[in-house]
Structure 1
Amino acid sequence: MDEQPRTGGAAAARAAAREAAAAAPGALAVALGGLLALAGAMGIGRFLLTPALPMMTAGAGLGAAEAGLIAAANYAGYLLGAVAAGLLPQRRAAKSVLLAALAASALTSAGMALATGPLGWAAMRFAGGVASAVVLVNLSALVLGWLRVAGRSGLSALFFGGVGAGIALSALIAAPWVAGPADWAAVWLAGGALTAVLLAGAALLLPAAAAPTGGTGAGGAEARGLWRLIAAYGCLGFGYVILATFLVAMLREGASGRLAETLIWLAVGLAAAPSVALWSRVGRRRGVLWAFRLALLIEAAGVALGALASGTAALTIAAVALGGTFMGATALGLVEADRRAGGDGRRVMGLMTASFGTGQMIAPALAGWAREATGGYMWPGLAAAAVLLAGAWLAAGLERRDAARP
């Protein structure tokens, strides 16, 4: 008797959601605003550390173990920020929170030039990690929600391309024609200033509040599969981060030259920027979980090559494999989580990001210690590849479970 009114109510909710989306900035503007925010908070706020670390070694005497601890502090802050952003009550609009966090990311990047010693740098990177996670959680929920309601989910590829664009910018900031081999302080100041510019653009383009869900979230068996997806996402966090953090340092030890270091790190960003569109297309054709699993397998091969091989050519291949997969897999995981969230996007994004952050917090400290103990990055690199394979196995299990469900 009440099935028709209930169905009519759901249709009315979806219609209201579409009307609200029409009154907001256009879907393209929302995606571009998200791209700018991701480029600042993630591409620069998190990944400028990679080209800056060997410069800090040359100019400030930073050791490999200390570098690993500074990177781990960044990711510990990222973990804390993810938990806080996803699970704690939020009294302000998502846009206000993420813009404040993006401003904090700019300040903590510039603050690296003013801090002194490993403890000061670790504290600054911890705060920057908190800021970047708060941006990612709120931004993903805000942008993906609006794109889904507007029927333009395909623009998520443009949104997630911001990380690759930011990585490319971080490579250019630290390029030899911009900064000297030990000018690490100038690099961090430039990163903070550029993030502030990106903040201004994001503030103009992003919508003021989250989109209404329209009752379109998944539930039931799909929602129960979230925990397996969250675990696989944590494997991705552990697996990518050793090569992503120490790639330039590995090149520096191989005497590749600063120009090669810049070009190879730039290749990571340039490969990452279009990778989300590529993997999204694969996900539409073969299924998101299938694409996520394949990306993890390719990334595992690249990370293992970086661990076992030496020389500029091998590390270039490993860098392209990393750049071409890690953001694609990240986007696929978040999009799949958003689909399964049942309307609670921010909480699920927080859980996914916390799992990812746990993995990437452990790995750099392990790699820095192993570098001091063994003289190389082979064993932590192989461990990272094995964890990526475990993530692919978890995704395959979830894929089989979904296929078996009526």
Structure 2
Amino acid sequence: MLRRLFDRNDNLAILIAGIFSIIIGIGVARFAFTGLIPPMIDDYLTIKFVGILASLNFAGYLAGSIFSVFIKNINIKVYFYRFGIVLAIVTTFILAYSKDDTLWMIGRVLGGFAGAMCLVVGSAIVMQKLKIESKTKAMGIHFSGIGFSILTTDLIARYVLSLGYTWEDAWSVLCIYAIVLSFYAMYILSFDKEVKQAQIKQKFDFTIFTPFVILLIMAYFAEGVGFVVQATFLPDIINNLAGLEGYGSLTWTLVGIAGIPSCIIWMRLAHKYGSVNIIIIALLLQAIGILIPAFTTNIYLNLLSGVLYGGTFIGLVALFMNLGGQLSNGNPVVLMGALTTSYGIGQVIAPLYSIYFIEKYGNYDYALYLTALIVLGGVFLLFIAKKFEKDKI
């Protein structure tokens, strides 16, 4: 068993290394920030600055995601993947050892770019290295790493804080955690020798942008908005509800737990009932989760909002991207780039309008109303799109 774990060509080792990569680039360099927002606001940050940092982070991720789509050579992908791992760790050190606003802003942009290298490029390497008949199912296991990334980084940060240490100490421990995982991840997700790869030139086929595809891209923008508001503010949203002070961390933990199996479950449902139908159901559940904190202070319902969020956002990314792959006519670069850009623009915009409403009204309600409305707009677009679909997709 131990030999398998250190075999670069073993499927189990590859999947573990892929999950470790996601934990470093998405967990430590991105989602840990959300869990640590409450103590950072008490000591250093303002909610306005939190929104700006979140927007910058997603702008960096958007740039990295688009850039990664055009890296064709697998050997070059390995170099950028390793660069992303190192960059994720370095930018996290900034949060632990500096309180310079400019450095934080630069760090969050670069941390977002690093996250794209770890997730998007890392996933491409995992896909290339896997020697398994059903890569789709295996990649479902790989993307469960997003849930693990939220859960493990949150538990580590909470444990450090529970011992009486500061949020800076929590960042330091998370850096050490990322460094330990990075050695294994970078060792496994590489090749024993340079991979010879034929250069395949593909023309941009703009005929794939049918009315159905355009509506799908617009709906993915709505999901980008729906994803980011809770990804940025959820613990603080819960902590600001009357009687629920301190429950934000537990809600965020539930997000991670719910996220672990979600991708596998949603993909299986899509295979059975059609992708568009399942995307609509997932978006509706996400909208309900978004609205719960705006309408009730019931502890159980608000914990459910965390479960609904964690249980939908990872699956929705997989559902949209998988459907995009099916519609790309064997040339996914243009369509994947369009989908990623649309989603990323939603991610960048949402924190900015959120801080406007928070500062104007003193609570999160109006930000949640608008976010849910945009997600429901995505549902509406998909119902229209269904009129254009000829096959069950």
Q: Distance between the aligned counterparts of 1:288 and 1:144, measured in 2? A: 22
In structure 1, stretches of 5+ residues that fail to align are: 1-23
Q: Call closer, same or farther: CA 1:342–1:204 in 2, change over 3 Å.
A: farther
Q: Call closer, same or farther: CA 1:297–1:131 in 2, change over 3 Å.
A: same
Show the 5 A alignment for 1:276-291: 276-291=263-278
Question: Are 1:32 and 1:205, in contact at CA under 8 Å, matched by a contact in 2?
Answer: no
Question: Are 2:220 and 2:339, in contact at CA under 8 Å, matched by a contact in 1?
Answer: yes
Identity of matched residues, % = 26
Partner of 2:381: 394
Matched, 1:174 2:160: no
* TM-score where L is the length of structure 2: 0.85
| Deviation for aligned residue 1:362 | 0.9
| Deviation for aligned residue 1:402 | 2.6
- The amino acid that maps onto 2:315 is G
Question: Are 1:75 and 1:129, in contact at CA under 8 Å, matched by a contact in 2?
Answer: yes
| Deviation for aligned residue 1:211 | 8.7
Q: CA RMSD in A?
A: 3.1
* TM-score where L is the length of structure 1: 0.83
Kindly provide the CA deviation profile for residues 342-397 of structure 1, in whole angstroms up to 9, marking residues without a partner as x: 44445544433322221111111211221111011111111111111122233344
Q: Call closer, same or farther: CA 1:304–1:251 in 2, change over 3 Å.
A: closer
Partner of 2:371: 384
Partner of 1:136: 119
Partner of 1:364: 351
- The amino acid that maps onto 1:163 is I
Question: Are 1:137 and 1:350, in contact at CA under 8 Å, matched by a contact in 2?
Answer: no
Count residues in correspondence.
378
Deviates more, 1:44-53 or 1:92-101: 92-101
Matched, 1:303 2:303: no
Question: Are 1:233 and 1:391, in contact at CA under 8 Å, matched by a contact in 2?
Answer: yes
In structure 2, stretches of 5+ residues that fail to align are: 1-7
Partner of 2:4: none
Q: Call closer, same or farther: CA 1:222–1:288 in 2, change over 3 Å.
A: farther
Q: Call closer, same or farther: CA 1:36–1:351 in 2, change over 3 Å.
A: farther
Show the 5 A alignment for 1:105-124: 105-124=88-107
Partner of 2:43: 59
Q: Call closer, same or farther: CA 1:348–1:206 in 2, change over 3 Å.
A: farther
Kindly provide the CA deviation profile for residues 262-320 of structure 1, in whole angstroms up to 9, marking residues without a partner as x: 32211100000111111111111112222222111110111111233235333211111
Q: Distance between the aligned counterparts of 2:265 and 2:199, measured in 1? A: 27
Matched, 1:161 2:148: no
Q: Call closer, same or farther: CA 1:202–1:348 in 2, change over 3 Å.
A: farther
Show the 5 A alignment for 1:1-16: none
Q: Distance between the aligned counterparts of 1:273 and 1:284, measured in 2? A: 19
Deviates more, 1:370-379 or 1:391-400: 391-400
Question: Are 1:110 and 1:191, in contact at CA under 8 Å, matched by a contact in 2?
Answer: no
SS in 2 for 1:402: coil
- The amino acid that maps onto 1:52 is L
Q: Call closer, same or farther: CA 1:313–1:91 in 2, change over 3 Å.
A: closer
Show the 5 A alignment for 1:4-403: 25-60=9-44, 62-87=45-70, 92-144=75-127, 150-175=133-158, 178-179=161-162, 183-206=166-189, 208=191, 224=210, 225-254=212-241, 256-258=244-246, 260-345=247-332, 348-403=335-390
- The amino acid that maps onto 1:256 is L
Question: Are 2:14 and 2:189, in contact at CA under 8 Å, matched by a contact in 1?
Answer: yes
RCO comparison, higher one (Cα < 8 Å, 6+): 1
Q: Distance between the aligned counterparts of 2:84 and 2:60, measured in 1? A: 13
| Deviation for aligned residue 1:404 | 5.8
Partner of 2:5: none
| Deviation for aligned residue 1:114 | 2.1
